[in-house]
Structure 1
Amino acid sequence: MNIRFPAVLVAALILSACDATQFGTAKAASEAEAESDATAPAEGPHGGRLLEDGNFALEVTIFEDNVPPEFRIYAYQGGEPVDLKQVELEVELERLGGRVDRFDFKPKNDYLLGDGVVTEPHSFEVMVAAEYEGNTSRWEYSSYEGRVSIGAEAAKRAGITTTLAGPGTIRETVKLYGNIVPDPSRVRRVAARFPGVVVAVDKAVGDTVAKGERLASVEANDSLRRYAVTSPIAGVVTERRVEPGEMAGTEPLLTVADYDEVWAELQVFPGHARSVQVGQAAAVSTNGDSQAKTTISYRAPRASGVGQSTVARAVLANRQGHWTPGHFVQATVEITEREVPIAIERRALQTFRDWDVVFIKVGEAYQVRPLELGAGDGEYVEVISGLKPDERYVVDNSYLIKADIEKSGAVHGH
């Protein structure tokens, strides 16, 4: 049998159950209100939608108990089951965006079984054509879930924005944790040139000093002449180990450190030992918010002991004094960069029933679209299936559309 459906399909869009103060002119309707008349559809003995043409009738059900969703359609003549071998049946489902799914049927037990899976969401324009005893019957109706209609002005006021799905870059990352430490090459431990008595100490811990500035005065034992102990670098006094009247020998008197550049010294545990390498980009932060972007400049050799961590290092510019040695930090290190055919912005994702979804937009209609997701990073996530290139999906305030659908009751049904 080859039943031809009309070439032009009339699309009916379910209206949103928006709050008038939220979406302005957007009107609301539940899934049942998408019917062409105000009454609920007739129901058959198996709980399905009953389609009648004179004495002939079909009961359309989508069965999904412990099996992928499938059409099971029961046929009746005068209220009694008919010989299913005498029924030829085709069903077409037109989804938002123009995709059409076609199903042929074969008898099984007491119903006609569709030859494919009725993929989610179960939201479509339905066209049914059947032949029985030389007569052809046709039906068309709308069956929606997870769909609303919002006018352009209302969507603009609600801050709903969209973009096109397309290729993107996924950066796989690992989190490392550690501390800020000084660069040893920028630390000086300053000692007396000649043994003697410390006459004066000019600087205290925390004082800023210039290169060549006097730190202390010492009277030499041999000549009894006083000489100045000066700072070899500009920086901050971090340690003072002498007081006036004490003897100056070979031990350091003060320590000066230049913190204009510091290190983030990060622990690399065995699970990440092969992933973290010199040259990889890293975002270092103190409280979870990225504060500085840098690269891994050093990676210690892998430790031979089982379970031992090693060290990775990243250099941080610190002229503003944001990074204080000893402070705990975390770093997000980009270990790979991969181009994928379709990547969406992570902030567009919502959960609906037990799916990860986005909401696609066609005209003024918004439809939930379940996705199979792949790898992702903080900004983007790969879409393995469920979305095609150049389909328009909601980015900002998609939660408003989800709330609207749940409020309208257009959540699940056939």
Structure 2
Amino acid sequence: MMEATKNKKTPVAIAIVLALGVVLGIAILRTDKAKPAGDEHGHAQSAAPADDEHHGRKGSEGHAHEAGHEDKEHHATAAQAAPQTGPHGGKLFTQEGFGLELTIFETDVEPEFRLYLYRDGKPLAPHQATVTVTLQRLGREAETFRFKPEKDYLKGVGVVAEPHSFEVAIQARSAGKDYAFGFEQVEGRVQLSETQLKQNGIEIATAGPARIASSLQLLGEVRLNQDRTVLVTPRLAGLVESVAANAGDRVRRGQVLAVLSSQALADQRGELLAAQKRLALARTSHEREKKLFEDKISAEQDYLQARQAFQEAEIAAESARQKLAALGAAATPSTQGLTRLEIRSPIDGVVIEKKISVGEALKEDAPIFQVADLSSVWVELAVPARDLGQLAIGASALVKASAFEAQAQGRLSYVGALIGEQNRSAVARVVLPNPKGLWRPGLPVQVTLKGDEAQVPVAVAVDAVQTLRAWSVVFGRYGQQFEARPVELGRSDGRFVEVIKGLNAGEAYAARNSFLIKADIGKAGAEHDH
């Protein structure tokens, strides 16, 4: 009985196993039909002639011949997988024996394309192929470069402007066949979503025209007003008897600074006294001869001789008096003698320097005092050559002290005509009123020179400008991409700055907190890739 039951169960088990096998087979067949033939990533592969795209980029190897092409042209495409590095350090592309190496050369020249050709791994003469390279940058029209043979390479006609961040399409023709290669390189670029922009407080603005009251920020130093500074010299050799002023003393014009004993002064005064005596005698003789001539007692000749002697005596006396005046000495000697020479201040001011002591023997040209009128001072500036066009005589200048809280208004009075060989700058000068003596010579200051307002075609916020590598850059926005745009800047009023070159009107850019984008690019390790 048990054996009979066992025999009945055996066919049932076999039937179940067979049914399961059929179900699994159907499932497998359906799965194979659903999956197209292709690579492991699920990209369909077809023998039909097409641009073998991989993730939207052209394929580097493999080609297809279309039977419909009567001229039997060779249509090749190149992959955008990372190209190999060639013998000259450039990007190397090869296909069916033809090779092409693209480099950007910028040693002692503006960046330029240089292209080397190969056939079966061996160098190929540059005239054996014609090549064009097309660059597509974010937010820009395509740039096409043509090439001309030079030495052992093809040289691109034109400058490859920074940044070197673009999609590159290369079209080449050699030995009757056409080749196409392509790649993309990214430099100074980062992607940020709207959420990230809001979280970081990055504001977006549009570059466009603006009215800018130009201003120039410069460093300067307070100097003595050389138009109001005098070096005092004795003008006669002598011995110092007394000194009445010291450095730092405020003095008035005509105030005695020192007293010298000078033998040369005694000689000059003696000459004046003698001339005055001769003049008095000549005057008496002239008056007497004149009266005798009028009374017809004396001859006219005697009168004329007396008049000539009198005139000569007048001239001699006046000459002696003028010599003493030129020396700053009184014509009338004091009761203390003919040798006393009083050194007086020629202007109102402050004694800046004193180089005299009692008992010292001085030469006539020795500088003994420096007196400066500090009611006004100069602020000297070093202006870079590129900024000279913004300066105008009479421009308003705001001067701020670096050492303490103080500011004052002045006027630009002078711009030097020469450029320094070392610093490539010209000297400019601001005249600054100093009634309270606050602005002391030697004090470092910051100066803002303001010019006239001007309408500029393209301007951006000052906060938008950052420094990346050796460039001044603005981060342009293109979709969710931000890319550094090297810019040439012009006038600025502290809020906006003129963009002369590098950014077009209507382009969006990061106006506020742009330094965060610079930080993200730094973290990403932005390269200068050739």
TM over 0.5: yes
From the superposition, tell whether residues 127 and 285 of structure 1 become closer, same or farther in structure 2 (CA, over 3 Å). same
**2:131 aligned with 1:89:** yes
For 1:66, which of 108, 131, 155 is the aligned residue? Answer: 108
Provide, for residues 138-162 of structure 1, a one-character-per-residue CA deviation record: whole Å limited to 9, x for no partner.
0121111111111121122111111
Match of residue 90 from structure 2: 48
Alignment RMSD: 3.9
> What amino acid sits opposite 1:311 in the alignment?
P
- The equivalent of 1:104 in structure 2 is 146
- Do the aligned partners of residues 109 and 375 (structure 1) sit closer, same or farther apart at CA in structure 2, a change above 3 Å counting? same
Partner of 1:144 in structure 2?
186
Q: Measured at CA, do residues 267 and 60 of structure 1 come closer, stay the same or move farther in structure 2, by a change above 3 Å?
A: same
SS at match of 2:86: coil
TM-score, structure 1 as length reference: 0.57
1-structure distance, mates of 2:434, 2:113: 58
Give yes or no for contact 2:215–2:492 (8 Å, CA) kept in 1. no
Q: How many residues matched? A: 274
Give the equivalent residue in structure 2 for 1:168.
210
Partner of 2:501: 385
Judge conservation of contact 1:177–1:267 (CA < 8 Å) in 2. Answer: no
By percentage of residues, which structure has more strand? 1
Task: Give the whole-Å Cα distance in 1 for the aligned partners of 2:85 and 2:509.
Answer: 35
Give the SS at the match of 1:367: strand
* TM-score, normalization by structure 2: 0.45
| One-letter code aligned to 2:433 | V
Say which SS state the counterpart of residue 406 (structure 1) adopts: helix
Once residues 195 and 183 of structure 2 are traced to their aligned partners in structure 1, the CA distance between those partners, rounded to angstroms, is 29
Give the aligned partner of residue 394 of structure 2: 275
CA deviation profile, 1:174-227 (whole Å, cap 9, x unmatched): 78999xxxxxxxxxxxxxxxxxxxxxxxxxxxxxxxxxxxxxxxxxxxxxxxxx
Distance 1:89 1:97, change over 3 A: same
Query: Aligned partners of 1:312 and 1:331: how far apart in 2?
Result: 16
1:372 and 2:488 are equivalent in the alignment:
yes
Listed one character per residue, the Cα deviations across residues 78-130 of structure 1 (whole Å, up to 9, x for unaligned) are: 10112321201000000010321110011111111000110100000100000
Structure 2: unaligned runs, 5 residues or longer: 1-50, 58-78, 223-374, 382-390, 415-428, 440-444
- Structure 1 Cα separation of the partners of residues 437 and 188 of structure 2: 52
Q: 2:452 — aligned with what? A: 336
Of all paired residues, the percent bearing the same amino acid is: 40
Task: Give the residue type in structure 2 aligned to 1:96.
Answer: L
What SS does the corresponding residue of 2:139 show, helix, strand or coil?
coil
Query: CA separation of 1:310/1:11 partners in 2, compared to 1, >3 Å: closer, same or farther?
Result: farther
Matches within 5 A, 1:249-398: 274-276=393-395, 309=431, 311=433, 334-398=450-514
Contact 1:177 1:331 in 2 (8 A): no
The CA distance in 2 between the partners of 1:61 and 1:127, in whole Å, is 14
Task: Find 1:156's aligned residue among 157, 175, 198.
Answer: 198
Q: What's the CA shift string for 1:19-50, capped at 9, x where partnerless? A: xxxxxxxxxxxxxxxx954xx42111111111
- Specify whether residues 173 and 63 from structure 1 end up closer, same or farther in structure 2 by C-alpha distance, changes over 3 A only: closer
Q: Which residue of 2 aligns with 1:114?
A: 156
Match of 2:335 in 1: none
CA distance in 1, matches of 2:527, 2:95: 29
The question of whether the paired residues in 2 share the 8 Å contact of 1:91 and 1:129 is answered with yes
Whose helix fraction is larger, Structure 1's or Structure 2's?
2
Contact 2:473 2:484 in 1 (8 A): yes
Equivalent residues of 1:275, 1:335 under 8 A apart? no
1:412 aligns with 2:454: no
Structure showing greater Rg: 2
Look up the SS of the partner of 1:140 in the other structure.
strand
Displacement, 1:285? 7.9
For residues 317-348 of structure 1, give each alpha carbon's deviation from its aligned partner in whole angstroms, at most 9, with x where no partner exists: xxxxxxxx998899856332222111211111
Contact preservation (8 Å) 1:71, 1:118: yes
Task: Give, in angstroms, the shift of residue 61 of structure 1.
Answer: 0.5
In structure 2, the residue matched to 1:316 is none
Partner of 2:517: 401
Number of the residue aligned with 1:205:
none
Say if 1:58 and 1:283 are closer, same or farther in 2 by CA, change over 3 A: same
Kept in 1: contact 2:97–2:120 (CA 8 A)? yes
For structure 1, the 5+ residue unaligned runs are: 1-5, 13-34, 179-264, 314-324
The 3 A distance-change label for structure 1 pair 334 and 121 is same
Cα gap change, 1:338/1:53 in structure 2, threshold over 3 Å: closer, same or farther? Answer: same
Counterpart-to-counterpart distance in 1, 2:221 and 2:85: 61
Give the Cα–Cα distance (whole angstroms) in 2 for the partners of residues 382 and 394 of structure 1.
16
Cα distance in 2, alignment partners of residues 92 and 124 from structure 1 = 10
Q: Secondary structure at the match of 2:196?
A: helix
**Aligned CA distance change for structure 1 residues 68 and 275 (closer, same or farther; 3 Å):** same
